[in-house]
Amino acid sequence: MIAWRAGVVTECRARWDGACESTVALDGEDRTVRALSYPHLVGEVVPGAHVLLNATALLRGLGTGGYALVVARTDALVPDPLPGPGHLVKARYTPLQAMVLGVDDQESPHHDVLRDADDLAGLPVVVADLHSALPAVIAGARAAAERLGREAPRVAYVMTDGGALPAWFSRAVDGLRTAGWIAACVTTGQAFGGDLEAVTVHTGLLAARHVVGADLVVVAQGPGNLGTGTRWGFSGVAAGEALNAAGVLGGRPVASLRVSGADARERHLGVSHHSLTAYGRVALSPADVVVPVFSRDLPGTPRDLTADPEPAAWTALADRVAGQAAALAVPQGRHAAVAEAAGTDLLDALRSCPVRLSTMGRGLDADPAAFLAAAVAGVHAITVA
């Protein structure tokens, strides 16, 4: 199950909040690998340090998880953490289980606020399948707020545990926080490393409202979703459960569709079958499903959906998305389909993102439809707020 390697750190490379990328020369092999460490878990890793690596994902050639992960230094023990409050254990019963102070913990200064909290009071909650939708949703929300003459929304990101467990893995979270685009990251379930820790998505949402004071919440899994090419075997199925949580707590659930105009796989072209399953079968609470209406003047061709010129290709994609999304809305489904324009102004807003946009290895120019579909969910969330 685990491919172990040992080596010596030769170089410390990029750093961002909670994470450090380094180069490690492998023992007994004439090569180096790219490794990632989380200093809060394994201490600081410096050149010359001897480390134990989990190289499983690297050796299998996985994309998002394609690092060797530093499990421990073998030449020095990390000092014990200072005594402090908190008894939430995350990554439970794994060798790297960690104890954190939960925002809903009895020892938390916010426990009294959250003990009986039960209402989001209409707070808009945008739920997305993929982590890559996060900056795009916020870009759309900020663009809508500016157009309406409002201040930029105070955004909380509630991260579920379907993808990466450490929030530190995400450079997007670090960049969005640094730019002031998110006020806090709340890690829920087995995920950890956020500004606030919560036991469930429910308490994560309540913390976003009652502790962070958010005007808008975005819920998505961390980077590195898992899919098996089956109807039910994908980690994004939890997006439907997140809509249920937002609905039962009195929030305004908004479903962001996973859309692609460039994916070669038929099941992901237009609206992904993941969205159709999560929102159509798992989400029992009614939500606003935001359907992008692509402008004919958008640059580029989303895919060779038609032999006609580019504007017709965008129209063909919009028609495909609308037809697929109709299965989610009344009378076929239980949700409300809401059309939102996705034009060049929104594309410009996406280009202003302070972090790199990438989904399934494709950037904004390679698959603009994916990011526009997420952005219109943010537009709608602000428009109805």
CB neighbourhood size of 4 (10 A): 10
Residue type, 366: A
Residue 126 has pLDDT above 70, yes or no: yes
Half-sphere exposure of 320 (CA within 13 A, CB side): 22
pLDDT number for residue 200: 97
pLDDT number for residue 250: 98
pLDDT number for residue 66: 75
pLDDT number for residue 63: 61
Structure confidence at residue 235 as a pLDDT band (50, 70, 90): confident
Structure confidence at residue 226 as a pLDDT band (50, 70, 90): confident
Can you tell me the distance from the alpha carbon of 341 to that of 143, in angstroms, rounded to the nearest whole number?
13
Q: pLDDT tens across 263-292, in order?
A: 778 788 889 989 999 999 999 999 999 999
Residue 307 has pLDDT above 60, yes or no: no
Most confident of the ranges 85-99, 184-198, 354-368: 184-198
Residue 199 has pLDDT above 80, yes or no: yes
Block residue for tokens 């302070």: 354
Output the 3-class SS for 304-332.
CCCCCCHHHHHHHHHHHHHHHHHHHECCC
Mean pLDDT of 226-239: 85
pLDDT number for residue 343: 94
Structure confidence at residue 303 as a pLDDT band (50, 70, 90): low
Average pLDDT value over all residues in the chain:
93
Can you tell me the distance from the alpha carbon of 113 to that of 183, in angstroms, rounded to the nearest whole number?
19
What percent of the chain shows pLDDT beyond 70? 97
- In 3-state terms, what secondary structure has residue 236? helix
Mean pLDDT of 191-204: 98
Distance of CA 343 to the CA centre of its chain: 24
pLDDT number for residue 220: 98
Block residue for tokens 């809508």: 144
Can you tell me the distance from the alpha carbon of 223 to that of 16, in angstroms, rounded to the nearest whole number?
15
pLDDT number for residue 308: 58
pLDDT number for residue 112: 95
Q: pLDDT tens across 6-18, in order?
A: 999 999 999 999 9
| Least confident range of 68-72, 79-83, 160-164, 345-349 | 79-83
Give pTM, 2 decimals. Answer: 0.94
Whether the CB-CB separation of 260 and 367 falls below 8 Å is answered with yes
Mean pLDDT of 97-125: 95
Output the 3-class SS for 349-374.
HHHCCCCCCEECCEECCCCHHHHHHH
Distance of CA 95 to the CA centre of its chain: 25
Q: pLDDT tens across 315-349, in order?
A: 889 999 999 999 999 999 999 999 999 999 999 99
Whether the CB-CB separation of 184 and 212 falls below 8 Å is answered with yes
Half-sphere exposure of 33 (CA within 13 A, CB side): 27
Residue 306 has pLDDT above 60, yes or no: no
What percent of the chain shows pLDDT beyond 90? 79
Distance of CA 377 to the CA centre of its chain: 14
Q: pLDDT tens across 172-197, in order?
A: 999 999 999 999 999 999 999 999 99
Whether the CB-CB separation of 212 and 154 falls below 8 Å is answered with yes
Backbone angles phi, psi at 300, to 5 degrees: 80, 165
